[in-house]
Structure 1
Amino acid sequence: MRISGYRTLTTVHEWGRPVGDANGVYADGNVPVPIVLVDTDEGITGVGLGPHAHLDTVFAAIEGEDPRGVTALYDRMLRQTFKAGHAGAVFGAIGALDTALWDIKARAAGEPLWRLLGGRDRLVPAYASGLDIGLTDEELVSLYQVYGERGLRAAKLKGGLDLDHDRRRLALVHEVLTEAGHGSRPGLMLDVNESWTRKQAVRHVCELERTMDLTWIEEPVRRWDAEGLATVGRGIRASVATGENLTGLEQFRPLLAAGAVDVVQTAAVWGITHFLRVSALAHAHDLPVSPIGTTPIGLLHAATSVPNHLSSELQDLCPPVGVSVDLTVEHGAFVLGDSPGLGVAIDEDAISARVPYETVAAGTPNVRPEYAGRRLLSASIP
């Protein structure tokens, strides 16, 4: 079997509500989703999710190769970008191709990827994450009631702009999930997307912890600030979670060496091989891993095979337009199916019928605000 070519698509995730974080909001709830399809000479096509940046350059490293040699091909793609570097969108393109290759490998074997990777249990524990900073309190409650009906008992809210606002909304979700769990204590997390200084992070989290129990605070300061993240971790009771925006093991090592992270995260867009390597590194430090953004489920399959998986982020119950997945959410967990590969099917006709959306626009979470991390007082909520 040989890799014969690739194709790109861009679909849209129609959330049906505003979604975003402290950096901005997609007010109409329509978020572009780039897809990469990798073809083989035996008619098997793999599906990957991620940016299309410099795909021609990266694809040259794997064209004509046997797609089943995935981990070696991953390293070939990293070497292909040696001079320019593999950070950012280029790393996402590598991750998309990597995910597609794992999909091909499992499809060729006639097995679901979770089984091919050595997973024993198809259930992946989940926590709810509504990307919810743009919702009213009433909308927030309604959303998490839906998550509670699916058995989820932990939730991560977006915040960081107004402490009183965050405290009130955490309390609302605590009440919703407590009722759904018939009195059992829920897990609560807060993601501020790098919007605080070190001192602000310690002060704000300590204030929240006077009245509630936070499981973790996510990205309280800049993603690369090992000293700052460690300082925050020493000053609060909650765990510090970070890693979704880090690319390459070389970016994780300083944080782990500094004791700056308690929950190690990776983003779905960075690919499966990356997740497996980060998980092994975290396991060597006795730290748990938690995947971020699990559409269209590549890291869920991989999570079944690592010993230190904690919980995976459930952002929405519906996939993007033209994408179907062999997956259900029951009793607080993702339940992976038996379809070969990722269990992802792409309807190219449905996607081509959609009007394309811009991938980067001011006022969305993709663009960091000018005053992020330099606010003296509370900011307005998007």
Structure 2
Amino acid sequence: MKIEHVEAVNLLCQYPENDRFQYAGGVCTNRLTTLILVHTDTNYVGIGSVYSHPALIYLIVRDQLNPLLIGEDPCNVEELWKKMYGLTLWYGRKGVAMSTLGGVDTALWDLRGKSTGKPVWELLGGRRKTCPAYASGLLWNDVDKLAEEAGQYIERGFRRVKMRLARSEEYDTSAVLAVRKAIGMDHDVIVDASMRYHFELACRMGNFLKEQKVFWYEEPFAPEDIDSYVALRQVVDVPIAGGENEFGLQGFREVIRAKALDIVQPDASRCGGISEVWKIAKMAEESGLGVATHSWNDAVAIMANAHVVAAMSNGVTVEVDQMNNPFVNDLLVKPLQIESGELQLSHAPGLGVELDLEVVEKFRLGDPLAIPDGVYSDMMFGKSYFPEPMGYKES
């Protein structure tokens, strides 16, 4: 089997007014993702996913990774990862270049599985075809509505929910109390502070979160503020999580060696593909840390992450976006299935997913280099949509 060409497909949807949500970055108007398709001289097509600046992804694939990989055996996953990394090293190592080669890497794992007739979780040595999953939503809203929303996630089969804080200290505490009351102590609450706390506030909130038996406390600080993570972990008795904004084994090595986190959160669509998530998970395992992957773009990324988490003894859970994202809800012929808090995998080869090509064509961006203005949750395009400085009122 040989690679014929590699394709980047940029997808974009605009939220109806009623589906838009508010968070620390503003009001989300749109969502986007990039699919990676590795076409071969057989009937097999490898599927991957990238979550970064879509125009830059497209250029890196078109002008560098595609010509590099044509004619190669896609099952030589490790060798091809090194080639892609070497080619993009000067401008890469982290950020969009690492994310892009990671999307290709995930597609290569999909092809490796398809060619051998085995699912990726089995190729990685796993023994279970399910993976714990949590509902990720609960953006800024009235606390009564948050409570109702959290209850709906439990009804959908989830056993854990994640909520976003960082609005004000009064809001943050009242929101956690409302969600905790709504789902009870038999279910887990996860909180994300969106990198907006200073150290004293983080300590104060950490003590409160311990009282509420929060499952983990995510990103109180910016990713480069490793010293604050280290200090907080020494004084707060609630697991500290982070890593969605980190890239590659080298990036996670730094935070793991610093003992900055209890739970690391790599993402196959961001940090370098299944290959890097696997290496990061193994390093975390050696240090006694859990792995709970980040996902916020599409169902392909969720499934790629789930295969790794399912195969690891220290795999904690995967994130499942609940914010009416069509790239999560509608992209696959067989939608994601959650039963008793577990994402169902299967014995189907590779990632075990099939794209709904009508959905792909519906949301395909006509000009892959022209991104309409808007707020795309983690990315903003058009100056009028750039985030304004936002204060935080403490109690």
Q: TM-score range by the shorter chain?
A: 0.7 to 0.9
1:94 and 2:110 aligned: no
Instruction: Measure how far apart 1:100 and its partner are.
Output: 0.6
Per-residue CA shift, 1:224-271, capped at 9, x if unaligned? 222111111122111110111101122122212221111011123131
**1:365 aligned to 2:383?**
no
Q: What is the CA distance between 1:360 and its match in structure 2?
A: 6.8
1:348 corresponds to which residue? 357
Return closer, same or farther for 1:207/1:349 CA change in 2, 3 Å cut-off. closer
Q: 1:116-195 alignment to 2 at 5 Å?
A: 116-130=123-137, 132-178=138-184, 184-195=185-196
SS of alignment partner, residue 341 of structure 1: coil
Query: Is residue 2:300 matched to residue 1:300?
Result: no
Q: TM-score, normalised by structure 1?
A: 0.87
Verify the 8 A CA contact 1:242 1:265 in the aligned structure 2: yes
1:291-336 CA-to-partner distances (Å, cap 9, x unmatched) read 1117321111121211210111122386254433464100111011
The more displaced of 99-108 and 353-362 is: 353-362
Match for 1:340: what amino acid?
Answer: P
CA deviation digits over 1:18-38, x for unaligned, max 9?
A: 3464223314xx411211111
Give the Å deviation of 1:378.
5.4
- Are 2:78 and 1:77 equivalent residues in the alignment? no
Alignment of 1:58-77 (within 5 A): 58-77=65-84
Pairwise CA distance, 1:102: 0.7
Q: TM-score, normalised on structure 2?
A: 0.85
> Following TM superposition, by how much is the alpha carbon of 1:206 offset from its aligned partner in structure 2, in angstroms?
2.7
1:191 partner letter? D
Q: Amino acid of the residue matched to residue 218 of structure 1?
A: E
Q: CA deviation at 1:151?
A: 3.4
Q: CA deviation at 1:135?
A: 3.5
Flag structure 1 segments of 5+ consecutive residues without an equivalent: 179-183
Q: CA deviation at 1:14?
A: 7.5
Q: Structure 2 CA distance, aligned partners of 1:173 and 1:42?
A: 50
Give the whole-Å Cα distance in 2 for the aligned partners of 1:146 and 1:13. Answer: 24
Distance 1:195 1:376 in 2: 8
1:6 Cα offset (Å): 1.7
- 1:256 maps to which residue? 256
Query: How many angstroms does 1:145 deviate by?
Result: 2.1
Count how many residue pairs are aligned between Structure 1 and Structure 2. Answer: 368
The match for 1:230 is 230
CA separation of 1:20 and 1:307: change in aligned 2, threshold 3 A: farther
1:113 partnered with 2:117: no
User: Is the 8 Å Cα contact of residues 48 and 98 (structure 1) preserved in structure 2?
Assistant: yes
Aligned Cα RMSD in Å?
A: 2.6
The aligned counterpart of 2:383 is: none
Change over 3 Å in CA distance of 1:191–1:321 after alignment to 2 = same
Q: Which residue is equivalent to 1:377?
A: 393
Q: Is the 8 A contact 1:114 1:302 kept in 2?
A: yes
Distance 1:20 1:283, change over 3 A: farther
8 Å Cα contact 1:230-1:259 kept in structure 2 = yes
Structure 2 regions of 5+ residues with no counterpart? 381-385
Deviations 1:167-224 (A, max 9, x none): 222222212222xxxxx43222210121122233223323444x52222211111112
Q: Determine if contact 1:18/1:134 at 8 Å carries over to the other structure.
A: no
Three-state SS of the structure 1 residue aligned to 2:34 is: strand
* Distance of 1:369 and 1:236 partners within structure 2: 31
**SS of alignment partner, residue 5 of structure 2:** strand
- How far apart, CA to CA, are the structure 1 residues paired with 2:165 and 2:371? 25
**Structure 1 stretches (4+) deviating beyond 6 angstroms?**
13-16
When residues 151 and 320 of structure 1 are mapped into structure 2, their CA distance, relative to the original with a 3 A threshold, is: closer
CA contact (8 A) 1:326 1:336 kept: no
Q: C-alpha displacement at 1:166, in angstroms?
A: 1.7
- Contact 2:13–2:363, Cα closer than 8 Å, also in 1: no
